[in-house]
Amino acid sequence: MPLLPRRLACACLILAAGTSACRRGTTKEVESEPPIPVVTEAVQLGNIRAVVSATGVVVALPGADFAAVAPVEGRIVEIPKKAGDTVKAGDVLVRFEFPSLRAEGTVRAAAARRADLRLQNAKVVQARVQKLLTAGAASQRELDEADHEVSDAEAEVALYAAAQSAADAVGQRTTIRAPFDGVVAERLHEPGDLVGSSTTDVILRVIDPHQVEVEASVRVADAGRFSDGASGRGVTTTRPAPEPLRVVSRAQPEAGATAVSVRMAFLEATALTPGTELGVEIDAEQRSNVPLVPAVAVVKDGAASAVFVAAGTQARKRQVVLGVEDAERVEIISGVKAGESIVTQGQSNLRDGSAISVSQ
């Protein structure tokens, strides 16, 4: 055989042997990949209700939140109740003493005595001028001046009498009593404190725990997904059990607003006080007899969603369109159907076509 053909033949044999060896190596490598253990669950037909999540705060109904404020500046003598105590209508909440009223009373009493003396003198002068006028020894002008002095003195006496009545009324308010049965929500002062009469200087607050609501802030886009009367739940970090709620009303959204106020009533007596923040869930639209999968089975890839379907010993990635979701399950609008087995554990390690072993 000529040299060149012999060399070409040898090269072909070597190339063929190398290619065969590469193929054998690839096959061995694939066969060496162990199957990934997974847990699967069949897609079920069922019912699901969507949930609108929001944040809320406990608020008192009008007339169910009483703030104790001093009628005038004074000193607290007694506060029998502390925060968290229950009270009955008529129970003493605060007792005061008003040092300023005593000083003012002394000054006012002296002024009132002067006003009385002035009136007595004015009447004496008025009577004398009237006699002189009858005798022709005084003028009508002098009588008019005497009459005017009497009128002014009477007005001054009446003014001090009204001031004394007002002071007496304030003095009788040395005790504040509970206007209704309730709970002391907060106590902001102690006995011995000096307090003013401003509404910002609250001594303590009493609320009726049966007359509170939740005011929640809900996205405008979600406000139309439920109606008045819809059920819901409130959850706080201090109470493990959710508080059952019911939607009472929804405010009309203002132009350009992103959220709307929703009022919710407690279905049971609650220990939550006004100002308590809580998470709110409101039951929204419901779907019946639709394919459902556990929410943990859904794999997110940006805006796209997928699940892994168990096809024998392989996992097949399937794009899906999601519908209504709750805390545990999600509706599948398209992509899988009832009865198919989907991977619910182990999917984070899978790719389309991965070998799997299904754990029972």
Which tokens in the block code for residue 282?
Answer: 């409101």
**Could you tell me the pTM of the whole model?**
0.53
Say if residue 279 is in the same domain as residue 236: yes
CATH number of the domain bearing residue 330: 2.40.420.20
pLDDT value for 254: 85
Q: Are 271 and 44 in contact (CB under 8 A)?
A: no
**Residue 260: helix, strand or coil by DSSP?**
strand
Q: Which domain holds residue 267?
A: 52-60+209-287
Put the strands of the sheet holding 194-195 in their side by side order.
Answer: 175-177, 92-97, 74-78, 194-195
Instruction: Tell me the C-alpha distance between 147 and 142, whole Å.
Output: 9
Closest CA to 317 of 331, 338, 297: 297
Neighbours of 314 (CB within 10 A): 15
> Does residue 306 sit within a domain?
yes
Sign (positive or negative) of CA dihedral 163, 167, 169, 170: positive
Question: Three-state secondary structure along 177-226?
Answer: ECCCCEEEEEECCCCCCEECCCCCCCCEEEECCCCEEEEEEEEHHHHCCC
213-242 pLDDT tens trace: 999 999 998 998 999 999 999 998 877 789
Instruction: Tell me the C-alpha distance between 168 and 105, whole Å.
Output: 9
Mean pLDDT by 10 residues, the chain (360 residues): 48 48 44 82 93 91 89 88 92 84 66 84 88 85 88 86 67 79 91 90 89 92 91 87 93 88 90 86 92 94 92 93 89 94 92 87
**Last residue of one domain, picked from the residues 140, 168, 196:** 168
Number of domains in the chain: 4
**Last residue of one domain, picked from the residues 264, 287, 310:** 287
**Last residue of one domain, picked from the residues 223, 257, 287:** 287
338-352 pLDDT tens trace: 999 999 999 888 999
> Does residue 190 sit within a domain?
yes
Say if residue 89 is in the same domain as residue 197: yes
Closest CA to 217 of 249, 260, 280, 281: 260
